[in-house]
């Protein structure tokens, strides 16, 4: 039986039915539903072995120099770049470690977290930093980190509420947590509908909106909650590729980046970043 990932309620209404994996074409058919009690949009059923849907996943590969520059120009503004004097940062869903390397240059002692244990080990050896894996590894660091970030990873979690709780406990009092996610209630999401690039089934499992995430912060003892809309041209460019070809075509995506930049400057709501300071 269906159980909401946020409030454990069983009743839902359909949002999108029978969506394919347009990005990597791993097959399958996915349904997004909205919980009738809390309103969280989520996959009706996540695949039992989600790890196979990450094979060939762009964010787990090393960036070329050109891509690194491109990434910084297009989505660099979506990451919290803060300076520190030896503070400890944990980036949950650290991908290829790009953000942690940037933070290391800004004085942070970096720690990563990845779902897949083999990938975490490989990344740890490559970057020479600690990369945790397995949600209960977080329990080994009570009140340890000064900063915890979920940079476009929260929507990938099978148990978002539980991981948020564990991460909160791993944060020091006075520490800050940042969560950046796609916004399913945005004008961009409504415009592109089931071809919206940031739906990304089945990798994107849930879409917490601003209210639901604010509640999660408050429930876990945070205050000074701030929300910022994020403009990312890739959402427009990827959606155009899905509309024209039903899948991801790099050439279309690249050409659509220029109008995508304009679009994201006019409609600045495809994603958002929420942050809070831990007090309790």
Could you list the residues that contact Zn ion (CB under 5 A)?
A: 4, 6-7, 9, 35, 37-38, 40
For Zn ion, the closer of residues 206 and 220 by Cβ is: 206
* Least distance in angstroms from the C-beta of 1 to Zn ion: 14
For Zn ion, the closer of residues 4 and 89 by Cβ is: 4
* Least distance in angstroms from the C-beta of 10 to Zn ion: 9
* Least distance in angstroms from the C-beta of 190 to Zn ion: 21
* Least distance in angstroms from the C-beta of 34 to Zn ion: 9
* Least distance in angstroms from the C-beta of 92 to Zn ion: 22
For Zn ion, the closer of residues 4 and 90 by Cβ is: 4
- What one-character-per-residue DSSP string does the chain give? ----TTT----EEEEEEEE--TTT-----EEEEEETTT--EEESS--S-GGGGGTT-GGGSPPPHHHHHHHHHHHGGGS-----SS-EEEEET-TTSHHHHHHHHTT-EEEEE-S-HHHHHHHHHHHTSEEE-SGGGGGGSTT-EEEEEEES-GGG-SSHHHHHHHHHHHEEEEEEEEEEEE-TTSHHHHHHGGG-TTT-TTT--EE--HHHHHHHHHHTTEEEEEEEEE--HHHHHHHHHHHHHSS--HHHHHHTHHHHHHHHHHSTTSEEEEEEEE--
For Zn ion, the closer of residues 5 and 195 by Cβ is: 5
For Zn ion, the closer of residues 11 and 224 by Cβ is: 11
């Amino acid at each position: 039986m269906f159980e909401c990932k946020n409030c454990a309620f069983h009743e839902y209404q359909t949002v999108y039915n029978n969506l394919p994996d347009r990005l990597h074409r791993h097959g399958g058919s996915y349904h997004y539903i909205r919980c009738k009690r809390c309103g969280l949009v989520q996959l009706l059923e996540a695949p039992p072995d989600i790890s196979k849907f990450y094979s060939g996943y762009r964010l787990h590969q090393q960036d070329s120099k050109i891509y690194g520059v491109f990434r910084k120009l297009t989505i660099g503004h979506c990451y919290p770049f803060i300076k520190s004097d030896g503070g400890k940062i944990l980036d949950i869903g650290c991908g290829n470690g790009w953000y942690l390397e940037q933070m290391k240059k800004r004085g942070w002692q970096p720690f990563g977290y990845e779902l897949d244990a083999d990938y975490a080990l490989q990344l740890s050896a490559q970057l020479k930093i600690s990369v945790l894996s397995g949600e209960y590894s977080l329990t080994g660091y009570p009140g340890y980190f000064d900063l915890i970030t979920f940079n476009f990873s929260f929507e990938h979690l099978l148990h978002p509420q539980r991981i948020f709780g564990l991460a909160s406990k791993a944060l020091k009092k006075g520490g800050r947590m940042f969560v950046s996610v796609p916004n399913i209630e945005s004008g961009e999401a409504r415009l592109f509908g089931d071809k919206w690039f940031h739906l990304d089934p089945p990798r994107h499992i849930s879409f917490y909106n601003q209210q639901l995430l604010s509640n999660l912060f408050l429930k876990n003892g945070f205050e000074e909650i701030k929300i910022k809309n994020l403009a990312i041209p890739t959402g427009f460019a990827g959606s155009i590729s899905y509309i024209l070809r039903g899948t991801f075509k790099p050439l279309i995506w690249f050409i659509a980046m220029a109008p995508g930049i304009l679009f994201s400057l006019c409609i600045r709501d495809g994603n958002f970043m929420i942050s809070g300071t831990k007090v309790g």
